[in-house]
Structure 1
Amino acid sequence: MEYLQITTETIFGFAALFVMTKVLGKSQITQITAFDFIAALVLGELVGNALYDPEVGILDIGFAVLLWTLLIYGTEIVTEKFKGSRKLLEGSPSLVIYEGKVDRSQLKKSKLDINQLQHLLRSKDVFSFREVQYAVLETDGTISVLKTSQYQTVNRKDMNLTPEDVPLPRTIISDGEIIWDNLLETGFDEKWLEQQLEAQDYNEPAEVMYAEYKTGDKDLYILGM
């Protein structure tokens, strides 16, 4: 009975947390601020400790998750309605490089040293401070970089070229399985896919790790297993 209770509470806790993330939205997953980090730790402790406490039942877990969800959701409403609360609850971006110069005072406020700043810049394919005009440390700990003009990538506008539509590549096969919705959206059918596979010496989708199609391409792009 003890294992059955743990199993039941674990499944319930998983389902409750899953529903909570759906209600709160993707920002709670992708944009982890200091407040979100604390919320995630506390919520994990609430559910984790409750699972192995024989005196805590499903209703207790459900109440804790619901209460914590309401607190987080209420905080989101507060930051949305009252702009002045955003700096306290969500933090604010820091301009750590301004006009090519590193702002040491902002680094100190952000508890960031030069080595850590270099690491963040390298994650943006920047390997020298001389390449950076502005750099903003975001509230989720990532960095946004605006390069100096001589290091910026040349685009079609710079070269006075006519703008072109940018097609969205669609995954047709993933791990040997056909993504039927994407195949139909491209306007092709299974017969066309079989011809594409045969043309590149593949007998069946199970032999393909990944395949994608982009509007305008003649052939399917395929990566074998």
Structure 2
Amino acid sequence: MNHYLMTASELIFGFIILFIVTKSLGKTQFSQITPFDFISALVLGELVGNAVYDHEVKILEILFAVVLWGVLIYFTELITQKYRKTRKVLEGEPNIVIHKGQIKYDTLKSSRLDINQLQSLIRQQGYFSLQDVEYAILETNGMVSVLPKPENDTPKMSDLNLPTQPAHLPITLILDGEVLYDNLKEVGFDENWLKKQLSKQGVTEYKEVLYAEWREDSPLYLNKYEKKSV
């Protein structure tokens, strides 16, 4: 009987601790997880699971291991929030696998993704032919985001007999107060143009901008950092 009581107490204690830790670390532990998030969640579960079946491990040791691992994950997430350059290493980065209707084979190869897998991911977004897709982006969580060709969008322009417009992929120019110069060069603009666009919206410094994106035939879209109330 004591054996069952000990197992039950360790399970209940582990459940409570894991719940607290995962809630503290944020929603990415539950959905849209990156490979790093998956490993983190897996190790947290293993720490408690092994402790339950090893009766030489005490509750305080479970607490120490789970809390320490949770602290390591927390500071890792904090680093990725503060320093944008670390995100590529720790979280990965999105990759364009279909560009203007053309499959980027080199990108598929480097992402360890074959055509059948790509088709499956595209179907999950509601498009059953690669011909319907103008852009497809492989996200860090393994899902694919799809921008369909204009005539295949919902509702379909062809069904409404309306003239179609070319699809344009939004380009991120500023992220977390830092200019993405490679993206700025890709769209054919320079820093002087960017500063003029920001000035039109009352922005004088890049660090004021949380996010800014450019899309052809549209003005520069940006979100500023929220001002802290005194």
Confirm or deny a common fold (TM above 0.5): yes
Aligned to 1:142: 143
Return the offset for 1:32. 1.1
In 2, distance between residues paired with 1:81 and 1:88? Answer: 14
Q: In 2, Cα distance between the equivalents of 1:88 and 1:40?
A: 19
Q: Indicate the SS of the match to 1:108.
A: helix
Distance 1:126 1:99 in 2: 16
Deviations 1:52-111 (A, max 9, x none): 111101101111110111011000100001111000000000100000000001101110
Name the counterpart of 1:10.
11
Q: Where does the alignment leave 5 or more consecutive residues of structure 2 unmatched?
A: 162-230
Q: Percent identity?
A: 55
Taking the aligned partners of 2:140 and 2:54, their CA distance within structure 1 comes to: 36
Answer yes or no: is 1:78 the counterpart of 2:79.
yes
Report what 2:45 is aligned to.
44
1:20 aligned onto 2:21: yes
* Structure 1 segment 27-176 matched on structure 2, within 5 A: 27-154=28-155
2: CA distance, partners of 1:37 / 1:23: 16
Q: Distance in 1 between matches of 2:19 and 2:97?
A: 36
Structure 2: how far apart are the matches of 1:27 and 1:7? 29
Helix, strand or coil for the counterpart of 1:146?
Answer: strand
How far 1:154 sits from its partner (Å)? 3.4
RMSD (Å) for aligned C-alpha atoms: 1.7
Equivalenced residue count is 158
| CA radius of gyration, larger in | 1
Residues 177-216 of structure 1 mapped to structure 2, 5 A cutoff: none
Tell me, what secondary structure is at the counterpart of 2:116? helix
Partner AA of 1:15 in structure 2: I
SS at match of 2:23: helix
* Large movers: runs of 4+ above 4 Å: none
Distance 1:48 1:65 in 2: 11
- Aligned to 1:14, the other structure's residue is in SS state helix
Q: TM-score, normalised by structure 2?
A: 0.66
Per-residue CA distance 1:6-33 (angstroms, 9 max, x = gap): 1100000000011112111112211211
Amino acid at match of 2:125: K
Contact map agreement 2:29 2:38 (CA 8 A) in 1: no
What one-letter code is carried by the residue in structure 2 that aligns with 1:53? Answer: D
